[in-house]
């Protein structure tokens, strides 16, 4: 079996669903703390699937992790568990240090204890795949080359600094102890089951609710966007064929300004769900105060994973964003479940 951490979150949830969509796939032990970002509704379709074992717990809990590793004879760990939202890291960095740094350290230690006691063949086959972000490389000027795996780390937010710290720990556990690790650094994901604190789901849901569409600063910040299912495919590829100790940058070759992203969503909604008053959704765009320390541009050079492992994204931004908007229109139950009191409190704190 494999152990997925953070598998009730956005990317981890998509990963578990895609993994188990393959009838011959190994089972999944899914360890998740169910923070505000964890959502069991995402995993509802697996309720009767005996190959999915959900465990409510913290990756910081070494005893729990070690007992799961032993009980299920885990052959690979894919670590998605993290605090993931930059704006929340600005309001409250402590949770980010706790989970992304300290708890990742605990997870590495439990993994090392388990791995060091495995028989030699199982030791060789074991993998610890750490899922990280392109934000660890900092911010690019408009003319700079996209981030390659050789770029220096220059994290600028509490979120990216905590992820950078975890990447360094993972690297050290390989070099010092020989733990067979793999690290992926991916650009911005979007797609189904995305918590609506992030730009794309926030804009879709606010647009449909007739609310304003907040653009930080001038809206000319650039992100590279990757459809989440392409990211899941990249992780599977790295897990099976990646070279231990290596880092793979994962990206969509889709650099877009935030304003372009929001305008694209608005025009798809104009077509699929026109407003009764005939007004365009883009009329709801509102410019708001910029994020402190806002990184201007991220872009990924994903040639290494393509050349070494033969992975390329299958969705363009245009096809992926259309599927995403359609998914939110078709899955109002999921989105309504997310709009809890805690989520409303966050919106008030961030946007009022």
Binding positions for ligand NAD, rule: CB under 6 A? 5-6, 8-12, 31-35, 37-38, 58-60, 80-82, 84, 99, 103, 131-133, 163, 186, 188-189, 195
- Asked whether position 202 contacts ligand TYD by CB under 6 A, the answer is yes
- Asked whether position 247 contacts ligand TYD by CB under 6 A, the answer is no
Residues 202 and 207: their CA atoms lie apart, in Å, by: 8
The one of ligand TYD, ligand NAD, none whose footprint includes residue 59, by CB under 5 to 8 A per kind, is ligand NAD
Retrieve residue 23's tokens.
């009838």
**Is 346 in a helix, a strand, or coil?**
helix
Residues 90 and 351: their CA atoms lie apart, in Å, by: 14
**Is 43 in a helix, a strand, or coil?**
helix
Rounded to a whole number of angstroms, the minimum distance from the CB of residue 335 to ligand NAD is 14
**Is 31 in a helix, a strand, or coil?**
strand
- Asked whether position 163 contacts ligand TYD by CB under 6 A, the answer is no
Rounded to a whole number of angstroms, the minimum distance from the CB of residue 224 to ligand TYD is 10
Rounded to a whole number of angstroms, the minimum distance from the CB of residue 120 to ligand NAD is 30
The one of ligand TYD, ligand NAD, none whose footprint includes residue 254, by CB under 5 to 8 A per kind, is none
Binding span for ligand TYD by CB under 6 A among 14-22, 44-52, 162-170, 194-202? 194-202
Indicate the residue among 31 and 204 with the shorter CB distance to ligand NAD: 31
Which own/partner pairs from 41-48 qualify as long-range (CB within 8 Å, at least 24 positions apart)? Answer: 41/333, 41/334, 41/337, 42/8, 42/13, 42/17, 42/193, 42/334, 43/7, 43/8, 43/13, 43/16, 43/17, 45/17, 46/16, 46/17, 46/20
Please select the residue that binds ligand TYD; options are 221, 249, 254, 263, rule is CB under 6 A. Answer: 221
The one of ligand TYD, ligand NAD, none whose footprint includes residue 299, by CB under 5 to 8 A per kind, is none
Q: Known catalytic residues? A: 134-135, 159
Rounded to a whole number of angstroms, the minimum distance from the CB of residue 188 to ligand NAD is 4
- The strand pair at 222-227 and 255-257 is best described as antiparallel
Residues 6+ apart with CB under 8 A from 185: 132, 133, 134, 136, 137, 147, 149, 167, 247, 248, 249, 250, 300
Helix (H) or strand (E) holding 40: none
Residues 298 and 223: their CA atoms lie apart, in Å, by: 5
The four Cα atoms 67, 9, 240, 115 give a dihedral, to 10 degrees, of: -20
Residue nearest to ligand NAD (CB): 9
Helix axes of 199-208 and 258-272: crossing angle, nearest 10 degrees:
40
- Tell which positions 267-326 bind ligand TYD, by CB under 6 A: 291
Please select the residue that binds ligand TYD; options are 110, 161, 181, 199, rule is CB under 6 A. Answer: 199
- Asked whether position 223 contacts ligand TYD by CB under 6 A, the answer is yes
Rounded to a whole number of angstroms, the minimum distance from the CB of residue 187 to ligand TYD is 9
Indicate the residue among 103 and 238 with the shorter CB distance to ligand NAD: 103
The pattern of x and - marking residues 85 through 114 that bind ligand TYD according to CB under 6 A reads -x----------------------------
Rounded to a whole number of angstroms, the minimum distance from the CB of residue 137 to ligand NAD is 12
The one of ligand NAD, ligand TYD, none whose footprint includes residue 223, by CB under 5 to 8 A per kind, is ligand TYD
Q: In residues, how long is the chain?
A: 352
The one of ligand TYD, ligand NAD, none whose footprint includes residue 202, by CB under 5 to 8 A per kind, is ligand TYD
Name the burial class of residue 202, with classes exposed (0-12), middle (13-18) and buried (19+) by CB atoms within 10 angstroms of its CB.
Answer: buried
């Amino acid at each position: 079996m494999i152990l997925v951490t953070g598998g009730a979150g956005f990317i981890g949830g998509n990963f578990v669903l895609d993994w188990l969509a393959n009838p011959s796939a190994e089972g999944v032990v899914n360890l998740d703390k169910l923070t505000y970002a964890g959502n069991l509704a995402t995993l509802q379709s697996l309720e009767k699937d005996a190959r999915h074992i959900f465990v409510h717990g913290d990756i910081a809990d070494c005893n729990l992790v070690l007992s799961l590793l032993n009980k299920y004879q885990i052959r690979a760990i894919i670590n998605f568990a993290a605090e993931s939202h930059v704006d929340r890291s600005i309001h409250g960095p402590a949770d980010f240090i706790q989970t992304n740094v300290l708890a990742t350290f605990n997870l590495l230690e439990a993994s090392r204890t388990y791995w060091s006691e495995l028989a030699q063949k199982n030791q060789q086959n074991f993998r610890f795949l750490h899922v990280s972000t392109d934000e660890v490389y900092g911010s690019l000027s408009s003319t700079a080359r996209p981030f390659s795996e050789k770029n220096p780390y220059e994290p600028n937010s509490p979120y990216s600094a905590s992820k950078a710290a975890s990447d360094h720990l993972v690297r050290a556990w390989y070099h010092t102890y020989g733990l067979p690790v793999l690290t992926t650094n991916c650009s911005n994901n979007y797609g189904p089951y995305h918590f609506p604190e992030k730009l794309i789901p926030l804009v879709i849901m606010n647009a449909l609710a007739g609310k304003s569409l907040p653009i930080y600063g001038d809206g000319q910040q650039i992100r590279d966007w990757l459809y989440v299912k392409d990211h899941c495919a990249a992780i599977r590829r790295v897990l099976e064929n990646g070279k231990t100790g290596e880092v793979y940058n994962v990206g969509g070759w889709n650099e877009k300004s935030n304003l372009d992203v929001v305008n694209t969503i608005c025009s798809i909604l104009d077509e699929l769900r026109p407003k009764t008053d005939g007004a365009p959704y883009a009329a709801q765009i509102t410019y708001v105060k910029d994020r402190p320390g806002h990184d201007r541009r991220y872009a990924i050079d994903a040639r290494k994973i393509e050349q070494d492992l033969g992975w390329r994204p299958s969705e363009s931004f245009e096809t992926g964003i259309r599927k995403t908007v359609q998914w939110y229109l078709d899955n109002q139950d999921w989105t309504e479940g997310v709009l809890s009191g805690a989520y409303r409190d966050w919106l008030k704190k961030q946007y009022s």
